[in-house]
Amino acid sequence: MYISEVTLSNFKGFYGTKSIELNENLTYVTGENNAGKSTIFYAISTLRDGKAE
């Protein structure tokens, strides 16, 4: 499975709608502490598993 884009809408610390494009080969997620990097992967995990941890 390949996820090309993640769109977050009012999810945790992301207010409003934010779209993040993912590269097919390699994607780096960088940023300051508390910027929401882990939240992106938490959203993907929630969609994949169908439940929040």
pLDDT of residue 34: 81
Q: Report d(CA 31, CA 37) in Å as an integer.
A: 7
pTM of the model: 0.59
Q: Each residue of 1-27: pLDDT tens digit?
A: 778 888 888 877 778 998 988 888 877
Residues 26 and 16 sit within 8 Å (Cβ to Cβ)? no
pLDDT of residue 17: 92
Query: Is the pLDDT higher at 5 or at 53?
Result: 5
| DSSP string for 5-51 | EEEEEEETTEEEEEEEE--SS------STTSSHHHHHHHHHHHHHSS
Domain residue spans of the chain: 5-49
